[in-house]
A = this chain, B = another copy of it.
Amino acid sequence: MCKENFSIVGRIWINCNDDSFIGNGKIELLERIKQLGSLRKAAAEMKMSYRQAWINIDKMNKASNKQVVILKRGGREGGIAQITEFGEKILITYKNLQSDFEVFLTEQTKKLNDI
């Protein structure tokens, strides 16, 4: 009657020094930056305001002692946004994490049979 309507869901993120470091939103932002080379375009594509996108990147860059994205202004193109090697590592780490988490959620949902 009831059981098939219930499911376990959730969210995970990475903390740095007990402050939120990166989660779903910033990961998507990183991926688009990597693809587009522009913070403005990345933000626009995912309908995030440029201001918020910039603040997100700024926080990430300052949270640990390693930069995640390099932002430069000026030049022929107006500026560039480039993901660092550390940023790439974060991407890979988070993807594996998210994948494991989804397995966990479906497993736990299966356990609900007897509720």
A interface residues, how many (CB within 8 angstroms): 32
Tell me the complex Cα distance, A11–B101, Å.
11
**B-side contacts of A9, CB under 8 Å:** 12-15
Q: Does A93 sit within 8 A of B, measured CB to CB? A: yes
- A101: which of B5, B10, B97 is its contact (CB, 8 Å)? B10
Judging by beta carbons under 8 Å apart, are B65 and A90 in contact? no
CB contacts under 8 Å to B, within A7-44, are 7-18, 21
Which A residues fall within an 8 A CB radius of B? 1-2, 5-18, 21, 64-66, 89-90, 93, 97, 100-101, 104-105, 108, 111-112, 115
In addition to A97-B111, A101-B104, 4 A-B residue pairs with Cβ atoms within 8 Å of each other are: A6-B64, A9-B12, A9-B14, A100-B108
